[in-house]
Structure 1
């Protein structure tokens, strides 16, 4: 990345005009091959949220006010807010519908929940237009049956938008086979590309829907207006691709796009140094499962998974901490600020904490892990339990997970002894 930045800063005009687009095309070709997608169907954006925003903001909603966006309740917060904004800014042209899940659940249950939501939308007089779902959900961090839900979208005649923020480099992907209507995945998470870089895939059949990148820039072509000629404006860079889609997204103004140029180098490094994608994915998946069990043993809890084991078909594991949440008012005044009551319905909930303290406890755990243990572990609450979401990256091994288990155990014991909710 530094090399590309230095070349751009040393001679900006020659680099942008004569080198940048060739380098960009090399990275696009490399990532297209990795995704098993046609070269002309992939472009880069800064992150997955930008990709989701680009897709939704290019959608044209029908004036009959029946269009509906479907999404699961595990949607990434920023993307959920984008859906809310689309509903708010459309003046009633589009609504949204949430599909509720309760993990651990089987893949078939997720597909059924989607199909039930489609039927409910139709019964309510709505027209389900597009469904947003993940490759690996963020909270909890589990593999989503994106292939099966994509197929269910096709069967229902609904557009599929796969948010693969956690995807490329962690889960095997074949977009030609899965054939979603839209797909975006961060390259700066599991593909080892510098921040921020995401690949946006739009098959040829849908590229006419993507009228503009964000922001609209030099590749945009306006539609003819009655009695007015189409504006011919000068572009500062050559629009040399025969694809309007590529021209539209390849240059959107002066930005540091050096991470985009690193994609080909990252993929090459993963092949030459790490042994290729198959070896990487297998190592990460195996380490996540073994490491997850080690952390669970240290905490005296378990690993979140379903009976089929599909939730852990990725490189993330979710392990509950040994304490849970109880509703406000269910703890006596004497115990109100004291942790130590055993959960009634779960032998592995060793302590309970009033809900009013949950946010403070979560913040304290994260801050303590960073300040005193020099690490970061994603801590979140789900179904009245605290969970640790741990990622099995290639630079980790089982000893790292043993250390994580001991660290989480020590911090959990400190929650009990130091009572940070009372400070």
Structure 2
């Protein structure tokens, strides 16, 4: 199925009618779109089209055709995010974007600068902070803000403000704050707009890790106005891996001295500038944009699929508003179904703001003895396992899901109880969540019977 997809009638509803347009094994229940995403056959054809163009005339394509196609895709994603085209470039993934920001920032020699973040930070980004501290020993420190989810957005905002006040009182200077659009574990919507505003008021650079973001949550960067924003397009925007949009407003582009890695587009300061051989002439008048246009020889065909994907989502799926709304509704109802089947509950706050996205977490009736929060006891009848069994139980559940049921659902411990994170997607229906609920119930019953010990 290829080009003719674009003229098909808009499906009445998401589900099996759309599943045939994706490359997924029909027997595979892909309830974890949030980790790696996937893309439809039409976008596969577009990807192969660009790859073929690159191979038929390598020099002509890479030197002259690719820059024009890249500019078109940048314009498409910029329009979606409601920002000028020259504020958006592409990088392979969100982690690369976060690294690009942190490795370019210059820290004050007085050692008071600080990187602040929430304890829900993605592990790879957390380790990036560790490396920055190691690389800049004595120049910068880090502060983690603990959160006790499921709490209200106001509790998060208050905790963030309190941490800033506390660190400043101790003589620290919060320089940059890292926070998510939707956190990874648990997969919940974060009040990133409000936190960005606080950063602006407090003179702190805001670095939004939107690894889970564009395509699943409405994002208006002109309204939010962060200092830095990165979001994977290959998760929720139906773009091939790996592709992420990296947004830097004009006011901050001078801070991003180099792409990662440094390549032909780098312009050294006058005192360090040398005449260097550059076979690739600048493709863009904007020096910052030009840095990211060609960062070594790799297959950047996924970048070119962004415009195609946005068009496909509009013409076949009905556009971003419909996708965001219906996937949120599917996730919420799907989570309720799974929670009912297993005897758990949907992980949400009283305001219901944590589930304003396309993922949902279900508290499973399974906890670690002596570790899980007793508060769960009044909400979920928790089956306890010994602390020394934790890793065995985790491995058992994953093995049963992958080998026994040909699926994958992220299962992780939070506050001493296991949570299951499920993703809604256009090729799924509530029947898939009913199936997931039955599968998880069967596996949990096996744990209660001690099957994991065998």
What is the SS of the residue equivalent to 1:395?
Answer: coil
Deviations 1:122-158, CA, capped at 9 Å, x for gaps: 1111100010000000011000000000001111110
- Corresponding residue to 2:154 among 108, 125, 128: 108
Aligned length: 407
**How far 1:350 sits from its partner (Å)?**
3.6
Contact 1:63 1:93 in 2 (8 A): yes
Q: What is the alpha-carbon distance in structure 1 between the residues aligned to residue 56 and residue 448 of structure 2?
A: 57
Q: What is the alpha-carbon distance in structure 2 between the residues aligned to residue 366 and residue 11 of structure 1?
A: 46
Q: What is the alpha-carbon distance in structure 2 between the residues aligned to residue 88 and residue 12 of structure 1?
A: 41
Q: What corresponds to 1:398 in structure 2?
A: 430
**How far 1:19 sits from its partner (Å)?**
0.6
Q: What is the alpha-carbon distance in structure 2 between the residues aligned to residue 412 and residue 13 of structure 1?
A: 57
What is the SS of the residue equivalent to 2:100?
Answer: helix
Note the residue ranges of structure 2 that are not aligned, 5 or more in a row.
1-46
**How far 1:194 sits from its partner (Å)?**
0.4
Q: What corresponds to 1:377 in structure 2?
A: 409
Contact 1:320 1:388 in 2 (8 A): yes
Q: What is the alpha-carbon distance in structure 2 between the residues aligned to residue 238 and residue 30 of structure 1?
A: 24
Contact 1:128 1:158 in 2 (8 A): yes
After TM superposition, the score normalised by the length of structure 1 is: 0.94
Deviations 1:20-79, CA, capped at 9 Å, x for gaps: 000101110000000111100000000000000000000000000000000000000000
Runs of 4 or more above 4 Å deviation: none
Q: What corresponds to 1:199 in structure 2?
A: 245
**How far 1:347 sits from its partner (Å)?**
5.9
Contact 2:345 2:379 in 1 (8 A): no
Contact 2:258 2:291 in 1 (8 A): yes
Q: What corresponds to 2:258 in structure 1?
A: 212
**How far 1:372 sits from its partner (Å)?**
1.1
Q: What is the alpha-carbon distance in structure 2 between the residues aligned to residue 395 and residue 348 of structure 1?
A: 31
Q: 1:203 to 1:264 in 2, by over 3 A?
A: same
Q: What is the alpha-carbon distance in structure 1 between the residues aligned to residue 394 and residue 101 of structure 2?
A: 34
**How far 1:344 sits from its partner (Å)?**
9.3
1:389 aligns with 2:399: no
Contact 1:343 1:349 in 2 (8 A): no
Contact 1:163 1:185 in 2 (8 A): yes
Note the residue ranges of structure 1 that are not aligned, 5 or more in a row.
331-341
**How far 1:269 sits from its partner (Å)?**
0.4
1:262 aligns with 2:308: no
After TM superposition, the score normalised by the length of structure 2 is: 0.88
**How far 1:343 sits from its partner (Å)?**
10
Q: What corresponds to 2:296 in structure 1?
A: 253
Contact 1:47 1:197 in 2 (8 A): yes
1:288 aligns with 2:331: yes
Q: What corresponds to 1:159 in structure 2?
A: 205
Contact 1:292 1:401 in 2 (8 A): yes
1:63 aligns with 2:109: yes
Q: What is the alpha-carbon distance in structure 2 between the residues aligned to residue 419 and residue 184 of structure 1?
A: 43
What is the SS of the residue equivalent to 2:408?
Answer: coil
C-alpha RMSD of the superposition: 1.5
Deviations 1:83-116, CA, capped at 9 Å, x for gaps: 1111111011000000000011111111111111
Q: What corresponds to 2:178 in structure 1?
A: 132
Please say which of residues 348-357 and 92-101 is displaced more in the overlay.
348-357
Q: What corresponds to 1:93 in structure 2?
A: 139
Q: What corresponds to 1:233 in structure 2?
A: 276
Q: 1:220 to 1:344 in 2, by over 3 A?
A: closer
Q: What is the alpha-carbon distance in structure 1 between the residues aligned to residue 62 and residue 377 of structure 2?
A: 63
Contact 1:301 1:321 in 2 (8 A): yes
What is the SS of the residue equivalent to 2:235?
Answer: coil
Q: What is the alpha-carbon distance in structure 2 between the residues aligned to residue 417 and residue 76 of structure 1?
A: 34
**How far 1:238 sits from its partner (Å)?**
2.4
What is the SS of the residue equivalent to 2:346?
Answer: coil
- Corresponding residue to 1:322 among 343, 361, 365: 365
Q: What is the alpha-carbon distance in structure 2 between the residues aligned to residue 221 and residue 48 of structure 1?
A: 24
- Corresponding residue to 2:69 among 9, 12, 23: 23
Q: What is the alpha-carbon distance in structure 1 between the residues aligned to residue 435 and residue 280 of structure 2?
A: 52
Q: What is the alpha-carbon distance in structure 2 between the residues aligned to residue 245 and residue 76 of structure 1?
A: 27
Which structure's relative contact order is higher, taking Cα pairs within 8 Å and 6+ residues apart?
2
Deviations 1:306-342, CA, capped at 9 Å, x for gaps: 11110011111100111111148x9xxxxxxxxxxx9
